[in-house]
Structure 1
Amino acid sequence: MMCGGTGSVSAATKEIQKICDSVKAAAEEKAGKTYEVFTAKSYTSQVVAGTNYFIKVHVGGEDHVHLRVWKKLPHTGGGLELSNMQHSKTHEDPVEYF
Structure 2
Amino acid sequence: MSGDFSETKPATPEIQEIADQVKSELEEKENKTYPVFVAIEYRSQVVAGMNYLIKVSICNSTDECVHLKVFQSLPHENQGPRLSDYQTGKTKEDELIPF
Q: How would you bin the TM-score normalised by the shorter chain?
A: over 0.9
CA-to-aligned-CA distance 1:31-51 (integer Å, 9 cap, x gap):
221111000000000111100
Partner of 1:57: 56
Gaps (5+ residues) in structure 1?
A: none
Q: TM-score, normalised by structure 2?
A: 0.92
Alignment of 1:66-77 (within 5 A): 66-77=67-78
Q: Distance in 1 between matches of 2:7 and 2:30?
A: 27
1:1-98 map, 5 Å: 3-60=2-59, 61-98=62-99
Indicate the percent of aligned positions where both proteins have the same amino acid.
49
Equivalent-residue separation in structure 2 for 1:77 and 1:64 (angstroms): 30
Letter of the structure 2 residue corresponding to residue 76 of structure 1: E
Aligned residues: 97
TM-score of the two chains, using structure 1 as the length reference: 0.92
Paired with 1:50 and 1:85, the residues of 2 have a C-alpha distance of 19
Q: Is the 2:2–2:48 Cα contact (8 Å) retained in structure 1?
A: no
Whichever residue aligns with residue 91 of structure 1, its letter is K
Superimposed CA distance per residue, residues 2-32 of structure 1 (whole angstroms, 9 cap, x where no aligned partner): 9420001000000000001111100111122
RMSD of Structure 2 on Structure 1 (CA):
1.3
Which amino acid in 2 is paired with 1:7?
A: S
Q: Which runs of 4+ in 1 moved over 4 A?
A: none
3-state secondary structure, aligned to 1:26: helix
